[in-house]
Structure 1
Amino acid sequence: MNNQELQTLVEQISINEFGKSFRHHAYFNSRLRTTGGRYLLQSHDIEINKKYFEQLGMNELIGIIKHELCHYHLHLEGKGYKHRDRDFRELLSKVNAPRFCTVLPENKKKKQSRKILVYHCTSCHLNYHRKRSIDLTRFVCGKCRGRLKLVKKMDGNEEQ
């Protein structure tokens, strides 16, 4: 699917689901990483993450388009277009659009493989579980100011 096909799809969904025309631009943005799409307040354009179409298919893409069109139409009408607004939530349920998009399969794998570092205080024997490393020459125990020592690296799946 290219940008022109996406534009046509967005216009069709807007007419069929909302009964209103979409008069701006819709296009794929490859720089989007953590979201399925976004509505731009200044230009009224809609950007879509192409990875969602490639990995999760047409149904997920249609859901994302409906969600962004809810932002679009409510903003142009001067109603509550933010996620927390009642108008937005009511329109989402009316057109059967998801409030949040599904997590991409590649992002699920990344989250599961996180490492956890365990630091041990040599004075009071307190353990610290951290995701990021600590500079042992600069940082000390927060309880007793004793020296810290790296004990082990654990996978995110192991018990602590």
Structure 2
Amino acid sequence: MTDEELKELIESISLDAFGKPFIHIARFNKRLRTTGGRYMLSTHSIEINPLVLEVHGTEELVGVIKHELCHYHLHIEGRGYRHRDADFRDLLKRTSSPRFCRPLTEGNKRVYSMYVYECASCRLLYKRRRRMDVRKYRCSKCAGEIIALLAVK
């Protein structure tokens, strides 16, 4: 889908769902990473992440477009266009627009190493993401010596 086809789709959705025209710029933006789309307050343009169409298909794309059009029309009218505003939430419900975009990638979660330490006296466990020098620290419960148990990647 090209930017021109995207603009035509947004114009038709705007007329069908909102009964108002969309007269500004619409384009795909490959640099968007964590969001499905965004509405630019200064230029009134709408940018859509092309991954929405590739990963989830046309139905999710239409949902993201409706969401951004809610921002667009409310901002143009001078009403509450932010996510926390009642006007915005009401318009989302009336147009059956999604509040959030489905995740675009599965690999967003970081994998941390886990270090486990134990007090030699009272057996209290300490779980840490960072390695610690056991010679510098003592147990917070009994002041006993701390020993390293294992490091899990």
User: TM-score scaled by structure 2?
Assistant: 0.82
Cα distance in 1 between the residues matched to 2:73 and 2:118: 57
Aligned to 2:60: 60
Q: Does 1:136 align with 2:132?
A: yes
Do the aligned partners of 1:136 and 1:148 also contact (CA within 8 Å) in 2? no
For 1:80-117, what per-residue CA distance to the aligned partner results, in whole angstroms no more than 9, with x for missing partners? 1111111101111111100011112x32x553x73441
Higher-Rg member (1/2): 2
Give the alignment of 1:10-159 within 5 angstroms: 10-104=10-104, 106-107=105-106, 109-111=107-109, 114-120=111-117, 125-130=124-129, 134=130, 136=132, 143=140, 149=148, 151-153=150-152
- What is the TM-score with the length of structure 1 in the denominator? 0.79
Question: 1:57 and 1:140, CA in 2 relative to 1: closer, same or farther beyond 3 A?
Answer: farther
Structure 2 residue runs without a partner (length 5+) = none
How far is 1:43 from its partner? 1.0
Give % identity. 46
Q: Residue deviations 1:48-69, cap 9 Å, x none?
A: 1110100100000000000000
Contact (CA 8 Å) 2:139, 2:146: kept in 1 or not?
Answer: no
- Structure 1, residues 121-158: CA drift from partner, whole Å, max 9, x if none? 5567431243xxx2535x8579479767472215xxxx
Does the CA contact (< 8 Å) of 1:32 and 1:49 recur in 2? yes
Q: Which residue identity lines up with residue 42 of structure 2 in the other structure?
A: Q
Greater helix content: 1
Query: Over the residues paired in the alignment, what is the CA RMSD in angstroms?
Result: 2.7
Q: Give the count of matched residue pairs.
A: 148
Query: Deviations 1:17-65 (Å, cap 9, x if unpaired)?
Result: 1111111111111111111111111111111111010010000000000
